[in-house]
Chains A and B, each alone.
Chain A
Amino acid sequence: MSRRVRRIAVAAAAIVTAMIWCGSSAPAAVDFSVGIRYVSDTGSLSECSAKAKQSLDAFLLGTSESSPGSGDWSAHSANGVNGTPTATAVVRCFGLARGFVVTFTCAVQLPDNPFTADALCHDVAHKFHGSGAITSLAAIPTPTPEPTGCAPNSLVGTWVSDDNPKLTFSMGLNGDLTDSEGVSGNWSLKGTTATLIYYGNHTLTLSADARHLHGGGYSLTRKC
């Protein structure tokens, strides 16, 4: 095997290993609830629609009818930690010769959502029917706000090297860092002792005003 082929093989193996490693975290799963249906011998499609809207409004946001007069209603939860809704419910009304039939279908993202699709559908259906226990649904966890300023408990922000102002580091909420040339690493902070994993491990000390990091061959100042 030639030297060049060997190098390409090593590079390919490194890429595959890194991608498998990065992709190994299990994403959330869809939890689905089907099966609750009410049939009413009395009432009209518009009455069903009014109750559908009211029952969805009680637990979710953005209730809307898929097309005016269709009787198909849906709504979603507040945004979860990823910035998108983690629960949705659909209530579908259909007018019969006498009365109407209504079905309830729900989907939630687990484990991001704090309640199951069954719990949501039961609550919406019980509210619609006006009977049955309503369980309080836990609030959707909201995204953690990015710290601003020079927080003493975090290194989040932009740091500039005192020795070379062209060298900057952007440190993120999740412990990630990227320098001005796109090279990435990680940071952690315990008390005033910071560790940067960036071309090796470096131990630095955070100043009392949380603006300066010194040690490990680096001297950095945070923009804040």
Chain B
Amino acid sequence: MARIICTRLAVLSVTLTLAFGIAGRPARAALDMYVGARNVVKDGTVSDCDSKASRALISVLGRSGEVGDTHEWEATGAVDTAGSSFAAAAVHCYPLDGGGYVVTFTCAAQTPPAPETASVICSQLADHFGGQH
């Protein structure tokens, strides 16, 4: 009986050691910021840019908001149970004299735990923005 208990305890200890060893390995969370694309669109208005920016941010990060009335749009990624977010992006629209606009994408992520790097987020944003007609 004592031998069985000892064997079980030993197996449990090894299991716990392995699990703690794997999960307890310190994950170095690094701040990652990316200067994404800058595009000049000659046949559009800044309100077109605003609409596309908002929709692209919602598609990629699930939300979007304009900073005041500036044509600068931002979004943060999903929040965890503590209310923290690990990804964010900004899309800046600026009207050009003579028509058209310039749009830029700038992104940040903390990996881990964010599943995507800032570069991937910016690439997805530019794709969603450019894919709208």
Contacts and interface: CB of A to CB of B under 8 A. Distances in A.
A35 interface: yes
B113 interface: yes
A177 interface: no
A105 to B, nearest CB: 5
A88 B38 contact: no
Report the interface size class on chain B: 35 or more
A144 to B, nearest CB: 14
Given A29-B86, A94-B102, A103 B72 contact: yes
A18 interface: yes
Contact of B108 (A30, A72, A101, A184): A30
Interface string B68-96: 10101010100010101111101010101
A109 B31 contact: yes
Contacts of B20: 18, 22, 184
A14 B19 contact: yes
Contact of B19 (A7, A15, A29, A103): A15
A23 interface: yes
Nearest to B24: A22
A105 B89 CA distance: 9
Could you tell me the dominant secondary structure of chain B's interface residues? mixed
A157 B13 CA distance: 25
Contacts of B30: 82, 84-85
Contacts of A14: 12, 15-16, 19
B104 A87 contact: no
A11 B16 CA distance: 8
Nearest to B88: A32
A146 B23 CA distance: 23
A90 B34 CA distance: 9
B104 A103 contact: yes
B71 to A, nearest CB: 9
A82 B76 CA distance: 23
B112 A84 contact: no
Contact of A97 (B21, B27, B74, B97): B97
B132 interface: no
B84 A29 contact: yes
Contact of B110 (A70, A87, A97, A109): A109
A63 interface: no
B33 A107 contact: yes
Interface in B80-133: 80, 82, 84-88, 90, 92, 94, 96-98, 102, 104, 106, 108-110, 112-114
Interface of A: 7, 10-11, 14-15, 18-19, 21-23, 26-30, 32, 34-35, 37, 66, 70, 72, 74, 76, 82-88, 90, 92, 94, 96-98, 101, 103, 105, 107-109, 182-184
Given A11-B12, A26-B84, A97-B96, 13 more contacts: A15-B16, A27-B27, A28-B84, A32-B76, A32-B90, A32-B108, A34-B90, A72-B38, A92-B92, A109-B31, A109-B110, A183-B17, A184-B20
10 contacts: A22-B19, A22-B23, A27-B84, A28-B84, A29-B85, A30-B109, A72-B104, A92-B35, A101-B102, A108-B31
Q: Which 9 pairs from chain A and chain B are nearest by CB? A: A29-B84, A107-B108, A32-B88, A22-B23, A35-B67, A18-B19, A88-B33, A19-B23, A15-B19
